[in-house]
Amino acid sequence: MRRVSALLIMISALVLSPSGGPPAAAPIQISSDPFTNPDSQHATQVEPDTFAFGSTIVSAFQSGRYFDGGSSDIGFATSQNGGVSWTPGFLPSTTVNSTPPGPYARISDPAVAYDAKHDVWMICSLGLDSAPSGEAVLISRSTDGGLNWSAPVVVSSTPGFYDKTWIVCDNTPTSLHYGNCYATWDDANAGDRLLNSTSSDGGLTWGPKKATTDNAAGLGGQPLVQPNGKVIVPALSAFANQIIAYRSRNGGTRWRAAKVVSNVIAHDPAGNLRALPLPSAEVDASGKVYVVWSDCRFRAGCASNDIVMSTSTNGKTWSAPVRIPIDPTNSTVDHFIPGIAVDRTSSGNTARLALTYYFYPTANCTQATCQLSVGFVSSINGGATWSAPQTLAGPMTLTNLASTNQGFMVGDYISTSFSGANAVPVFAVGGPKNGTVFNEAMFSTMQPVTTAQSYPLRVTADPMLSVQGDTAQGFLPLVIP
Which pLDDT value is given to residue 5? 31
Long-range contacts from 305-309, C-beta under 8 angstroms, 24+ separation: 305/266, 305/267, 305/269, 305/277, 305/334, 305/335, 305/336, 306/335, 307/335, 307/336, 307/338, 307/355, 307/357, 308/262, 309/340, 309/383
Classified by CATH at the fold level, domain 6-465 comes out as: Neuraminidase (2.120.10)
Residue type, 193: R
CA–CA distance, 203 with 386 (Å, rounded to integer): 38
Whole-angstrom CA distances from 439 to 5, 21, 46, 428, 429 are 11, 28, 11, 10, 8
Which pLDDT value is given to residue 454? 59
Strand partners, 335: 359
Q: Where are the domains of the chain?
A: 6-465
Query: Cα–Cα–Cα angle for 253, 164, 304, nearest 5°?
Result: 120
Q: Which residues of 355-392 are buried (b: 16+ CB within 10 A; e: fewer)?
A: bbbbbbbbbebeeeebbbbbbbbbbbbbbeebbbbbbb
Strand partners, 59: 50, 77
Q: Which regions of 134-201 does DSSP assign to beta strands (E)?
A: 134-142, 153-157, 162-169, 181-187, 193-199
Q: Which of 357, 201, 347 is nearest to 269 (CA)?
A: 357
Residue 6 host element (H or E):
helix 6-12
CA–CA distance, 258 with 234 (Å, rounded to integer): 9
CA–CA distance, 98 with 128 (Å, rounded to integer): 14
Which pLDDT value is given to residue 26? 84
**Residue pair 156/131 in contact by the 8 Å Cβ criterion:** no
Please report the sign of the dihedral spanned by the C-alpha atoms of residue 70, residue 71, residue 73, residue 74: negative
Residue type, 403: S
Whole-angstrom CA distances from 312 to 121, 227, 437, 462 are 28, 14, 45, 18
Which pLDDT value is given to residue 159? 85
- DSSP characters for 259-310? EEEEE---PPPSTTB------EEEE-TT--EEEEEEE-TTSGGG-SPEEEEE
**Residue pair 74/62 in contact by the 8 Å Cβ criterion:** yes
Which pLDDT value is given to residue 22? 56
Query: Cα–Cα–Cα angle for 361, 282, 306, nearest 5°?
Result: 25
CA–CA distance, 116 with 97 (Å, rounded to integer): 31
Which pLDDT value is given to residue 471? 32
C-alpha 335, offset from chain centre: 15
Which pLDDT value is given to residue 24? 67
The per-residue pLDDT string of the chain (481 residues; one tens digit each, 9 = 90 and over) reads 332 332 332 333 333 344 445 556 789 999 999 999 999 999 999 999 999 999 999 999 999 999 999 999 999 999 999 999 999 999 999 999 999 999 999 999 999 999 999 999 999 999 999 999 999 999 999 999 999 999 999 999 988 899 999 999 999 999 999 999 999 999 999 999 999 999 999 999 999 999 999 999 999 999 999 999 999 999 999 999 999 999 999 999 999 999 999 999 999 999 999 999 999 999 999 999 999 999 999 999 999 999 999 999 999 999 999 999 999 999 999 999 999 999 999 999 999 999 999 999 999 999 999 999 999 999 999 999 999 999 999 999 999 999 999 999 999 999 999 999 999 999 999 999 999 999 999 999 999 997 656 555 543 333 323 333 333 333 334 445 6
